[in-house]
Amino acid sequence: MFQRKFTQGCAACLAFASLCLGPLTAVAGDTLDAVKKRGFVQCGVNTGLPGFSNADDQGEWTGLDVDFCRAVAAAVLGDAQKVQFTPLTAKERLTALQSGEIDVLSRNTTWTLTRDTSLGINFTGVSYYDGQGFMVTKALGIKSAKELDGAAVCILAGTTTELNLADYFRTNGMEYEPVVFDTADQTARGFEAGRCDVLTSDQSQLYGVRLKLKEADKAEILPEVISKEPLGPAVRQGDDDWFNIVRWTLFAMVNAEEFGVTAANVDEMKKSTTNPEVRRLLGLEGIKGKGLGLKDDWAYQIVKQVGNYGEVFARTVGSGSPLGIPRGLNALWRDGGLQYAPPIR
């Protein structure tokens, strides 16, 4: 029943998109010109996920995905504040991108073959390497996901986690009862109300959800990671110029961390550095902004106004945040992680 419900939901969604939008590639256009004319980047984000995308009582958005949107605005418009955020549920996010409602989707979305090849969108890179995990209440005394046979599982609808969950339980010869919700907040409330024994999601989301629980210290995250979840920004297919801008915004942030260029020292490095890689990054020599159709200081503006990848990671989800998530796979390649950016030259 669970799988049939999901399949029907996806089919209805795609049918709706096709009826309303026509061929998906036909909606792509000159996004850069549209953004410049409009004066701001329209960015799709999560409706509320601590560390990644969250709005406070004054409507101020913070988080790793939010800062990436600001980095795109800094690169394109020279002002990181020129962003309008569109909060989207898991069900809404892809249609919003396909229809042109948003310019870029920066919302904990897993890069998969299907999404990259048949939904009219392209992923531009990986801003966070994640994996699916499980959270339980300590009172259950469960220490491993292998002890979850027969459990009721709270899960967010329209996500790859539904499919991963089915694969994991089938592989391990276990049964489960899915309890499906439309938003992360509903899922957390369902877990808190005891409607399920375990909540499953990407581990990064589990850390965020646990922070929202009234008795966070009574919940724990199990050690198993059952999937690969490369999360990254996505754009519509058919606009290679915009694709390159969003992709190289991420690469510039990673390169800046590798070269030790930070928001605090970028002005001094711009004046004094003789390192040719840093000089190319900051638009002092080499290809500058020409290849992207941007001003020569596009990467300087990113670092100055938003910071390099490591700075953003630390203040949003890492050591300087309430989540305190270790860098792990998201460390630079030279430090044992997977974050690696091609050279700017």
Phi, psi (deg, nearest 5) at residue 75: -70, -40
Buried b (16+ CB within 10 A) or exposed e, 202-213: bbbbbbbbbebb
pTM: 0.82
pLDDT tens for the chain, 345 residues long, are 333 333 334 334 443 444 344 434 434 459 999 999 999 999 999 998 889 999 999 999 999 999 999 999 999 999 999 999 999 998 899 999 999 999 999 998 999 999 999 999 999 999 999 999 999 999 999 999 999 999 999 998 878 889 999 999 999 999 999 999 988 788 999 999 999 999 999 888 898 888 888 898 899 999 888 999 999 999 999 999 999 999 999 999 999 999 999 999 999 999 999 999 999 999 999 988 988 999 999 999 999 999 999 999 999 999 999 988 889 999 999 999 999 999 999
The three-state (H, E, C) secondary structure of 137-171, written as one string: EHHHCCCCHHHCCCEEEEEECCCHHHHHHHHHHHH
H and E: helices and strands count for the chain: 13, 14
CA dist., res. 7 & res. 185, Å (int)? 23
Q: How far apart are the first and last CA of the chain?
A: 53
